[in-house]
Structure 1
Amino acid sequence: MDELEIKVKLQISKPVSEVKDAIIRADKMANYFIAEGARNMEEGKNIQWTFPEFPEMIIDVKILKIDSDQVIFEWEGSKNKQLEVRIDLEERPGNSTLITVSEGKMKYDPEGIVWLKRNTEGWSNFLACMKAYLEFGINLRKGGFEFMKAS
């Protein structure tokens, strides 16, 4: 094993079009992932994300591709490393969507292992928070990271 790659999946009981809309529209993403005020994702554009719990952290995101069942962007997934993130949306029975988030790749070394743990946890949280928001209107992220703020 020379390279590590993140891949997480979760099914949401909403149609692909609604899930995709919640990913590319900043006003919707602010209910489960980013802070308010970001721009919508548009193919070929650069945007910035901030997070409600960490306003000092600004993430540059380059949108590479948006189509009916996929969103691809690039960001600094690990310190000084631009990594590609792919979000694939697969229509499932019952008007549901299987979301697969892939990020990577990085070397199988101590830095790569830290990245794999941190970002796998982050993308799993992203999917769980999106599911709670889309299916139940709940913002799971709100207050969830207070323990990480500097005292």
Structure 2
Amino acid sequence: MMKELQIKTALQISRHPKDVFEAIVDPEQMSNYFISESSGRMEEGKALEWKFPEFEEWAAIKVVEITPGEYISFQWEGAKDTTLLVEMTLLEMSENSTLLKITEGNMQNTDAGIKWLAQNTEGWANFLASLKAYLEYDINLRKGAFDFLKQK
């Protein structure tokens, strides 16, 4: 029996869930740690495009569901020719602490699925670390971090 693969990752951030939520849905804030450009704010039912600083292509995003301060979900081409669901759950741990859980999936347990699992798990770990650095210390960890991908 072939088991499906799913990414599950989480990180605690020393900020209130409302602040973490806004840093994710607001493209101006998101450009300080994840993307370089967005066609708009994340809102339920909205189709957006994101530009990443290290790639020429734009990524199509379809926002599925938003619960302010608690939950964000969207679909995107998380793997080649495959639309995947990303879910972000924000849990208040204390007044100024949020546990952000991210899941993405599912993919079949094949060579392509394992490649996706490795690449996107790395990507979501980078997203979480970059978001934490931005919100807690006003540092953009992503700036220049992937310039080597542009070099030949």
Tell me if TM exceeds 0.5.
Answer: yes
Aligned residue identity for 2:121: T
Q: Which residue of structure 2 lines up, in the alignment, with residue 73 of structure 1?
A: 74
Q: Could you list the per-position Cα deviations for residues 8-60 of structure 1 after superposition, in whole angstroms to 9, with x for gaps in the alignment?
A: 10000000000000000000000000013531111101000001122x12100
- Give aligned pairs, total: 150
- 1:24 paired with 2:25, answer yes
Unpaired segments ≥5 residues, structure 1:
none
User: Contact 2:49–2:60 (CA<8 Å) still a contact in 1?
Assistant: yes
Q: Which residue of structure 1 lines up, in the alignment, with residue 85 of structure 2?
A: 84
After superposition, the Cα gap between the structure-2 partners of 1:37 and 1:46, relative to the gap in structure 1 and judged at 3 Å, is closer
2: CA distance between counterparts of 1:11 and 1:89? Answer: 10
Which residues of 2 match residues 98-117 of structure 1 at below 5 A? 98-117=99-118
After superposition, the Cα gap between the structure-2 partners of 1:102 and 1:52, relative to the gap in structure 1 and judged at 3 Å, is same
1: CA distance between counterparts of 2:91 and 2:38? Answer: 29
2: CA distance between counterparts of 1:37 and 1:108? Answer: 32
2: CA distance between counterparts of 1:38 and 1:132? Answer: 24
User: Contact 1:13–1:94 (CA<8 Å) still a contact in 2?
Assistant: no
Paired-residue identity, %: 49
Unpaired segments ≥5 residues, structure 2:
none
- Greater mean alpha carbon deviation, residues 23-32 or residues 1-10: 1-10
